[in-house]
Chains A and B, each alone.
Chain A
Amino acid sequence: MLTIPCPHCGDRAETEFVYGGDAGVSRPADPAALGDAEWSAYLYLRDNPRGRHSEYWYHRSGCRRWLQVERDTLTHRVLATSFAGYPKRGSE
């Protein structure tokens, strides 16, 4: 069971959250200017690291904020959390 330290609510169990996927993927600013290769890379290709991963979690049963979480996908250790879309807070 993951324990995710929410910057607003404190340590909470993973069952309060909804996973939002890889936070390292940004929507291209001008999709119409992209070719098929670039657009499909944005849609489908992922680094999928065995180790440190930056990802979104939505605190559905808590403060209902979107979080950006740095987590190790092998050990499940949470390295840092912050509110998504804001400069990073929380500790390494």
Chain B
Amino acid sequence: MRGYSLAAILRHGLRRNLTWPEAIRHPEPKSRYDAVIVGGGGHGLATAYYLASMHGITDVAVLERGWIGGGNTGRNTTIVRSNYGQPANSAFYEHSLKLWEGLSDELNFNVMLSQRGLINTFHTAADREAWIRRYNFMRLRGIDAELLSREDLAERVPAMNLSTDLRLPVLGAVLQPRAGVAHHDAVAWGYARAADAKGVDIIQNCEVTGFAREAGRVVAVETSRGRIDTGKVGICVAGSSSEVARMAGIRLPIETHLLQALVSEPVKPFLDVVVSAGDYGMYISQTDKGEVLIGGPLDGYNSYSQRGSPATIERVLASAVELFPAISRLRMMRHWAGANDMTMDGSPIISRTPVEGLYFNGGWCYGGFKATPASGWTFAYTMAEDRPHPLNEPFTLERFESGHLISERGAGRLPGLH
């Protein structure tokens, strides 16, 4: 791999940009690999990259049914943050944020991390206490966190409606300054290119159709392009986890639900921070292209359709217009829904499974994008060492049986509420 650099831009520019090499190879699958990753999204590609770069396992195939980054990696709202209360989540997502901060350099690919800050507004006295408690936890753990008054908000987010006539007036907010956004496609492409350069085979249009097992061990993966023998398989297919795990005879504590987002036509910059208003069930940011990007809560029922309900759009947009009246006449330009793995406690699973040599990574709820680097980092460790890293030790499959749930919201076993 020739690195991307200023010199490369000049060199290829002089040749009218016709000479850039392809970012990754397109190999035919071999009949055997040391390790196989199922799923070529950000998490699978990151896992392959860290297997090669940190654990010296380079004979790896990433099998992707469609194209890399074409699933939930391309269907999120690109927020990166580590503002969690539960100790396990806090440590994991802060590790992820630190990896994000060095990622463009590490991958030689600009992932366009923009640490513009994340503001969580609160609108009731109880919510205020809950947020302050959570941000105190963060400060005690050395994670950046600030409390903002209404006056601070007027200065920091002039477009926000701070009127006391709102149904739920803004009482204040908390801010994580190091949070922000990154570019979703760049993360997939950056990891893919860096993994490919280390010898990982990225195989697109290759659907996994089954797992061959012998004496409780996985020995091969059956695919639409033939059988691939291997001793280690990592599943990274959040959204379709239940369907893929079923092929290995594993039932998961997961339901698949829809999460929607939509963007407006582009306008001049007016919002330079991500704002999330939990009580309104709405979050909003402005992309580098000027589009206003708005997301909301789950639709609330099992679905793989990747088509959201208009009822949710209406509710989310009503909230967005109430808090940011200036956007009321914007036309919405694109809309999409992702099929999310929702676990029963709202936290992910990065774990060994009852099948030897088969590892599972999924259940990302709606926190998968920001977790991409740490997910790959800890999953690669788990696959290479056949045991979890301390950072993902709490995120086992067994926690549901032993009762060690990691429930950020305490919402009980109702995936639609996490």
Chain A residues within CB distance 8 Å of chain B: 1-2, 13-15, 19, 21-22, 36-37, 40-41, 43-50, 53, 55, 73-76
CA distance in complex: A46, B255 (Å): 7
A46 proximity list for chain B (CB < 8 A): 242, 251-255
B243 proximity list for chain A (CB < 8 A): 48-50
Q: In the complex where A37-B401, A76-B303 touch, is A48 in contact with B242 (Cβ < 8 A)?
A: yes
Q: Please tell me if the beta carbons of A43 and B309 are within 8 angstroms of each other in the complex.
A: no
CA distance in complex: A7, B63 (Å): 45
CA distance in complex: A88, B166 (Å): 47
Q: Please tell me if the beta carbons of A76 and B256 are within 8 angstroms of each other in the complex.
A: no
- Given A21-B414, A48-B256, 16 additional A-B pairs, CB 8 A: A13-B311, A15-B311, A21-B416, A36-B403, A43-B413, A44-B400, A45-B252, A49-B242, A50-B242, A50-B243, A53-B302, A73-B302, A73-B305, A75-B305, A76-B303, A76-B307
CA distance in complex: A33, B274 (Å): 50
CA distance in complex: A13, B310 (Å): 11
| Closest-CB distance, B398 to chain A (whole angstroms) | 9
CA distance in complex: A37, B253 (Å): 12
| Closest-CB distance, A45 to chain B (whole angstroms) | 4
Query: How big is the B interface, by class?
Result: 20 to 34
Contact flags B253-282 to A (C-beta < 8 A → 1, else 0) = 111100000000000000000000000000
Q: Which of B251, B253, B301, B401 contacts A55 (CB 8 A)?
A: B301
Q: Which of B252, B254, B255, B310 contacts A1 (CB 8 A)?
A: B310
A40 proximity list for chain B (CB < 8 A): 400-401
**Counting CB contacts under 8 A, is B137 at the interface?**
no
Q: Please tell me if the beta carbons of A55 and B309 are within 8 angstroms of each other in the complex.
A: no
| Closest-CB distance, B370 to chain A (whole angstroms) | 24
Specify the chain A residue showing the minimal Cβ separation from B398: A40
CA distance in complex: A70, B307 (Å): 19
A47 proximity list for chain B (CB < 8 A): 242, 246, 251
CA distance in complex: A43, B400 (Å): 9
B301 proximity list for chain A (CB < 8 A): 2, 14, 19, 55
Q: Please tell me if the beta carbons of B240 and A1 are within 8 angstroms of each other in the complex.
A: no
Q: Please tell me if the beta carbons of B344 and A19 are within 8 angstroms of each other in the complex.
A: no
B307 proximity list for chain A (CB < 8 A): 76
**Could you pull out 6 A-B pairs where Cβ atoms are within 8 angstroms?**
A21-B416, A44-B413, A47-B251, A48-B252, A48-B256, A73-B305
Q: Please tell me if the beta carbons of A1 and B300 are within 8 angstroms of each other in the complex.
A: no
Q: Which of B304, B344, B403 contacts A50 (CB 8 A)?
A: B304
Q: Please tell me if the beta carbons of A76 and B311 are within 8 angstroms of each other in the complex.
A: no
Specify the chain B residue showing the minimal Cβ separation from A44: B253
**Counting CB contacts under 8 A, is B402 at the interface?**
yes
B403 proximity list for chain A (CB < 8 A): 36
| Closest-CB distance, B262 to chain A (whole angstroms) | 16
Chain B, 228-263, CB within 8 A of any chain A CB: 240, 242-243, 246, 251-256
CA distance in complex: A13, B304 (Å): 20
| Closest-CB distance, A36 to chain B (whole angstroms) | 5
Q: Which of A36, A44, A73 contacts B256 (CB 8 A)?
A: A73
| Closest-CB distance, A46 to chain B (whole angstroms) | 6
Specify the chain B residue showing the minimal Cβ separation from A20: B301
Q: Which of A2, A37, A48 contacts B255 (CB 8 A)?
A: A48
Q: Please tell me if the beta carbons of B344 and A41 are within 8 angstroms of each other in the complex.
A: no
A15 proximity list for chain B (CB < 8 A): 311
Q: In the complex where A36-B402, A48-B302 touch, is A41 in contact with B251 (Cβ < 8 A)?
A: yes
